[in-house]
Amino acid sequence: MRFSIWRITLKVIFVVFMLLIMIGPLVGIVIWSFARVWYWPSPIPQEFTLRYWLEVFRQGRVLNSLMLSVTIALLTVVFSITLAIPAAYGFARYKLPFERVLLLLFLMPQTFPQLPVFINLASIFGRMGLRGNIWGIILAHTMASLVFSLWIITATFKSIPVELEHVAQNLGASRFKTFWTVTFPLAIPGIIAGAIYVFLWSMGEFTAAFFIGAPFIQTAPVLMYTSSMGYNLQIASVIAIILVIPSLIFMVLIERFLKAEYIAGLGG
Amino acid sequence: MEVRNRIVGFLLILPAFLILALLYVYPLIRAIWMSFIKDGFLSLANYAKAFDIYSRDILYSVVITSVTVGFVLVLSILLASYLRFKEWRFLDIMYRLPLFIPFLIVGHAMRIFLAPHGTLNSLLTRILKVEELPGFSRSWIGLLWTFVWVMTPYAALIILGAFRALDSSYIEAARNLGASKGKIVFTVIIPMCKPSIMVAAILTFVRTISSLTILVMIGPNTPNMITVDMMFRINFFNDWGVANALGVISYLIVIVLAVYYLRFMAAERGGIKG
């Protein structure tokens, strides 16, 4: 490529522009999380403090909401993956009755707005005593995450050559033993990717947690929302950073193992 | 053997199927049913009221969403075309940054970034040497900016995947005939990857129009998108009928796109060939 001063200048401008619009919003919340006093038009806060970060480690509503979110996310992962593994194996290896209908059903939640389902679920749970209860949120999260954990794991099973299973079966292994000793160990990386994905999704999920958890349950995103609305930007920023860091790490590590079509669920 | 096989397959799927039937299909049917119930009777009153109060918001939702899809498609095709021909690690990481960040956090970060006295203006006023600049949060510009910021990486990932999967021999052939890169993109790559571009557009549309969290953080107070109206209907008026009518209206808006997407995915058996 020819050396050209214009080319390099353009490239530098582009890099600075990208950094500003992509990283800028994240830098803003980092600064806010340390701000004690910050009046316009100072470029940085007049006074800094660690007070809001300490709340993460001290008993109180920030720590409580984070612990609650981790508990919900872990239980959601357990339920979602346990349900998804057999179903994914079924989709990957068996001819199914009403296959098209089942496929459509399991793809539908990605293609239609989720909000009407969540609010009606909240109303149904309300009559069953599951509203304002963490089990209500866990059930809703299991349902919503099942759709993408299922497709991630199905893709993993499909990528494992079926011939390996045939070999094991020809040597006399039962279908279950074949799955347990051949297919499952090979699928573990995909299953872990799916599990991490479900965990992160559940940690950041707001809508279901807000409608179903109301009024007693405050997960980290719900506390973040109420803090931000009440102009307690520091608390909101601290929670935002804690939730963002694992997402960024995951993005760098795992993204290339996932097929884009299956991760439609994230974000909410 | 064949029958036994099908039964085993169905049993494997049954638990997941039951969860989806009870916690997805049942609330979905209930949403549609409740939207026709007013004071215990079947009627269209909820729809009449929804259109009466919110027709402007419905239009606004569709317009904002369509404009978002337009911007996202142009940007993600540009990104994918560039990265198809050239490796640039910096750009590769930058564009994917928002991929897994929860929408609520994006909304919060953008609210701080784009506010009248926010991080962006704090920087720009210094560079431009002016006193004040208008903020974009709580306006349609900030909303559009945030949607495009958060939706583009996802669409670009789908489109770039399709571009990369394309057999290089087509591109080589066009290049040997003297076509420029721009021409190759427009006459060879884009037409061949049309289904994936459609999928990216559809998923962007659905995710945008069904987003609630970004709107409550950064959206203008009025006009609002339908998701926020649904939330208000429930939280302030306890009016489930109109909320459900709005929900059904949002289903009707996406149904044509959803059918295209489902047929495409089902044809590929869940998107995985073979």
Residue range B45-267, CATH number = 1.10.3720.10
Q: What is the pLDDT of residue B28?
A: 94
**A78 close to B (CB below 8 A):** no
| pLDDT tens-digit map of A53-108 | 887 778 788 899 999 999 999 999 999 999 999 999 998 888 888 888 888 888 88
The CA distance from A40 to the nearest CA of chain B, in Å, is: 6
User: What is the mean pLDDT of the segment spanning B183-195?
Assistant: 87
**Mean pLDDT of each 10-residue bin along chain A, 268 residues long:** 79 90 89 79 76 81 91 96 94 83 84 90 90 92 91 86 87 86 88 90 92 88 89 88 87 63 45
Q: Predicted confidence band at B150 (pLDDT cuts at 50, 70, 90)?
A: very high
Residues A30 and A76 placed together within one structural domain of the fold: no
Contact call for A154 and B99, based on CB within 8 A:
no
Residue A22 domain-assigned (yes or no): yes
Q: What is the pLDDT of residue A240?
A: 92
Residues A14 and A120 placed together within one structural domain of the fold: no
Give me the number of domains chain A comprises: 2
Helix pair B119-128, A5-34: axis angle to 10 deg? 130
DSSP A133: S
Residue A98 domain-assigned (yes or no): yes
* Cα dihedral A56, A57, A62, A65 sign: positive
Residues A201 and A249 placed together within one structural domain of the fold: yes
Residue A94 domain-assigned (yes or no): yes
Residue A7 domain-assigned (yes or no): yes
Of A19, A116, A150, the CB nearest to B247: A116
Residue A147 domain-assigned (yes or no): yes
Burial A20-56 (b: 16+ CB within 10 A, else e): bebebbbbbbebbbbbeebeeeeeebeeeeeebbebb
Domain extent, residue A31, equals 1-49
Q: Report the CATH number that the domain containing residue A149 is assigned in CATH.
A: 1.10.3720.10
Residue A82 domain-assigned (yes or no): yes
Of B101, B113, B244, the CB nearest to A247: B101
Q: Predicted confidence band at B222 (pLDDT cuts at 50, 70, 90)?
A: confident
Q: Predicted confidence band at B55 (pLDDT cuts at 50, 70, 90)?
A: very high
Residues A152 and A255 placed together within one structural domain of the fold: yes
Q: What is the pLDDT of residue A257?
A: 59
Q: What is the pLDDT of residue A254?
A: 67
Of A15, A22, A260, the CB nearest to B158: A260
**B127 close to A (CB below 8 A):** no
Residues A45 and A64 placed together within one structural domain of the fold: no
| pLDDT tens-digit map of B76-133 | 999 999 998 888 888 888 888 888 889 999 999 998 888 877 778 877 877 887 777 7
What is the ipTM metric for this complex?
A: 0.87
Average pLDDT, chain B: 87
Residue A268 domain-assigned (yes or no): no
B16, pLDDT greater than 90: yes
Contact call for A104 and B17, based on CB within 8 A:
no
Residue A259 domain-assigned (yes or no): yes
B246 burial via Cβ count (<10 Å: 0-12, 13-18, 19+):
buried
Contact call for B272 and A154, based on CB within 8 A:
yes
DSSP of B121-183: HHHHHHHHT-S-----TTSHHHHHHHHHHHHHHHHHHHHHHHHHHS-HHHHHHHHHTT--HHH
Which chain A residues are within 8 Å of B258, Cβ to Cβ? 108, 111-112
Which chain B residues are within 8 Å of A127, Cβ to Cβ? none
